[in-house]
Structure 1
Amino acid sequence: MTTAKTTGTALLTEGVRAEAAIDLGALRDNLAALDARTGAAALMAVVKSDAYGHGGLRCALEALAAGVRWLGTATPEEALALRAAGIGPERARILCWLWTPGGPWAEALRAQVDISVSGLWALEELVAAVRETGVPGRVHLKADTGLGRNGCQPHDWPELVAAALRAQAEGLLQVVGLWSHFAAADEPGHPSIQAQLDGFTAALEHAEWAGVRPEVRHLANSPATLTLPQSHYDLVRTGLAMYGLSPVPQLGGPADYGLRPVMSLTARLALVKRVPGGHGVSYGHHYTTPRETTLGLVPVGYADGIPRHASGTGPVLVAGRWRRVAGRVAMDQFVVDLEGDTPEVGEEVLLFGSGEHGEPTAEDWGVACGTISYEIVTRIGARVPRRYFGGSAL
């Protein structure tokens, strides 16, 4: 077991069973560190998926207070919620990129949301909504340079560009952005990286030859922002890194890039009890106590976003030492073997955080569960309250 020093400072709000503490000061510092790497390129704060589980509106507002003027969302509903909360176009451009047929095109136009278009079907639905509302669209054309998800394939790119320019000539829209997304920027040296850089150059050259004069060209995500300065263009889209987690952990942790994790997840022991050796623990008895010991009950489970894959592996800090989840993670709770230690019921259990208190990090949980830190923080559920501190005056 790993032994760690504890500070004696309460991290958890009194009376709550579990809490995700969000350090907005760390968020601002991370944005400043990222901005220092981008040169002339502007910074987009990606707040999709409730800001990777950190709270979309609060993180968006903090990013704006830090001087960011671009916000990124996946779904139109996320973009519209930010506008409805009072983040108007005079405060921030909001780009939304994940559209499906029949989406809320008219609402997005009225809210002055920038819209990503990857194919003719989307352009046609957007143009129909422009004719209905009388509100011209701001469009970012997305090229598929090798990721194979959203984006227009090279053989269809000339047709999409030409159709968008025809609509622009009619005053229906303005092509304000050209963009793409990396497949493996988190694997430096991967052959797809240079292939995508070349593919994006070709897409830009054709669009600009055809007459597109974009406000912004953007390709870099978090790992590219940290490791590929040649991909920065006019705008970088920072997601994971702004929340203080390293998108390239094989190269360096957060501190190596001037980042601090923003989220800490803490719970309270709900029960401490002594049991004999050979006692089964949790569903299926996948863990039995090797000897007489004490067990601690942690009142969070997979309904709160604790991965079931953490069964038997998930690390926590309790009573000054690292422990592992004993047996299966259940819907609302899991157990740790305290190895005879007898902390008080109600003592704090640090699941993950910055590591400053000796606790595991989201990266440690990702390794333990065979996944990535992105998933660990994003999946923390709505019934875990968020406590914000260190924020600026909004």
Structure 2
Amino acid sequence: MSLFPARAVVDLSAIRDNARTLGDLAPTAQVMAVVKADAYGHGLVPVARAAVQGGATWLGVAQLGEALALREAGITARVLTWLYAPGAPLTDAVAADVDLSVAAPWALQEVAASARVTGRTARVHLKLDTGLGRNGLTPADLPEVLDAALRMEAEGVLRVVGLWSHLAFADEPGHPTLHRQAEALRAAAADAEARGARLEVRHIAASASTLTDPDLHLDLVRPGIALYGLTPVPQLGGPERFGLRPAMTVEAELATVKRVPAGHGVSYGHHYVTDRETTLGVVPLGYADGVPRHASGTDGAPGAPLGVHGRRLAIAGRVCMDQVVVDLGPDATESAGDVVELFGTGADGGPTAQDWAEACGTISYEIVTRLGARVPRVHVDPEAPGGTGGER
């Protein structure tokens, strides 16, 4: 049993089911489960395995270390990694059969050098900046880089297997730039194939487009937040609208429960003052664990929501480094050790990551990915024989 009085419970059956649902929503495309950032805070390796069990044939990660960790865990699905700087250990990635994105001319040269060292043909996806203005080759640079890559392909050094891009307004379905960017990618792919490229995949759709726009699915979709049962387009509806269910529940055990009089200040700066005799509870999670300070309840406004024995309460006062306070009310029956839910599936009206995002003025992606490393992840699988679980 963990010594830490809180945990993030991750339902792997939800991950698996969400992967299946996403595959059903994009029947003409392959599915790349994006498991970067420790699987959006859910746990890299267990989530990757569940996603593959759910039908994902690719895994996507930002960092080389994440890709190598998947291979070290024995996961054999295709893996793409895309964010590295000059001097990165690309030799290790090529040796581990990890697909590499090339987003700049220097990157092609370093991938080729690593392939020559290993004696293995590197698999390359050329990243095109179609309008996001972030990582990627400019349209002006692409022809020269592609021609160089095809010369290397003729030598057996590498293979250009993919051409891809990111959407600038991905979370705004119907935005006019979406199809302009996709058309730019299609045109670049057609030109690449005319020059001799044998592309396996063209891809531009992340979660939002996977859920809302089949015309953007192309050969491969890259769902991230949707894999975890959270909606990238809350303006269109919650996860249930798309057949998804949240996989993570964050809960903590009350560390202290005590009675206080009316007029009692709570937490730093006394931004919350009790208006009657009441019971306060201390929840042992704070900003060191990823609870945003913007979740504080200050100046009379409630903080982010908390679920306590079927009641929906809120953080009272400022979020501290290791703890927050909840006003349990004058008739509270809770005691130390009772469980408080920060966010979860939303069943029976409990708080969700989206509720937290709205309370903090951010997005659900940030709420789950910022969860601190000292919070144990407990992976459960209700669909496995006897169920499974464990901490990391």
The verdict on a shared fold, with TM-score over 0.5 as the criterion, is yes
The answer as to whether partners of 1:65 and 1:392 remain within 8 angstroms in 2 is: no
- In the TM superposition, 1:267-346 aligns within 5 A as 267-312=252-297, 313-342=303-332, 343-346=334-337
Match of 1:224 in 2: 209
Q: Distance in 2 between matches of 1:384 and 1:50?
A: 13
Match of 2:192 in 1: 207
Match of 1:159 in 2: 144
Match of 1:362 in 2: 353
Tell me by how many angstroms 1:163 deviates.
1.3
- In the TM superposition, 1:1-394 aligns within 5 A as 17-87=5-75, 91-312=76-297, 313-342=303-332, 343-390=334-381, 392=384
SS in 2 for 1:177: strand
TM-score, with structure 1 as normaliser: 0.93
Q: How many residues are paired up? A: 379
Tell me by how many angstroms 1:139 deviates.
0.3
Q: Pairwise CA RMSD of aligned residues? A: 1.6
Tell me by how many angstroms 1:119 deviates.
1.2
Tell me by how many angstroms 1:289 deviates.
1.5
SS in 1 for 2:222: strand
Q: Distance in 1 between matches of 2:201 and 2:179?
A: 21
- Which has the larger displacement, 315-324 or 223-232? 315-324
Q: Distance in 2 between matches of 1:67 and 1:317?
A: 34
Deviations 1:79-138 (A, max 9, x none): 001111112xxx311000111110011100110100000111100111111222212110
The answer as to whether partners of 2:11 and 2:380 remain within 8 angstroms in 1 is: yes
Give unpaired runs (5+ residues) of structure 2: 298-302
TM-score, with structure 2 as normaliser: 0.93
Q: Distance in 2 between matches of 1:84 and 1:25?
A: 23
Tell me by how many angstroms 1:245 deviates.
0.4
Q: Residue type of the partner of 2:16? A: R
Deviations 1:43-87 (A, max 9, x none): 111111110011000011112222322111100010001111112
The answer as to whether partners of 2:286 and 2:324 remain within 8 angstroms in 1 is: yes
Q: Distance in 2 between matches of 1:327 and 1:310?
A: 9
Q: Residue type of the partner of 1:366? A: A
Q: Distance in 2 between matches of 1:67 and 1:36?
A: 10
Q: Distance in 2 between matches of 1:296 and 1:355?
A: 22
Match of 1:3 in 2: none
Tell me by how many angstroms 1:159 deviates.
1.2
Of structures 1 and 2, the one with the larger relative CO (CA 8 A, separation 6+) is 1
SS in 1 for 2:32: strand
Q: Distance in 1 between matches of 2:331 and 2:125?
A: 58
Tell me by how many angstroms 1:269 deviates.
1.1
Q: Residue type of the partner of 1:382? A: A
Q: Distance in 2 between matches of 1:67 and 1:243?
A: 15
Q: Residue type of the partner of 1:255? A: E
Q: Residue type of the partner of 2:356? A: W
SS in 2 for 1:160: helix
Q: Distance in 1 between matches of 2:52 and 2:174?
A: 34
The answer as to whether partners of 1:62 and 1:392 remain within 8 angstroms in 2 is: no
Q: Distance in 2 between matches of 1:68 and 1:317?
A: 33
Tell me by how many angstroms 1:167 deviates.
1.1
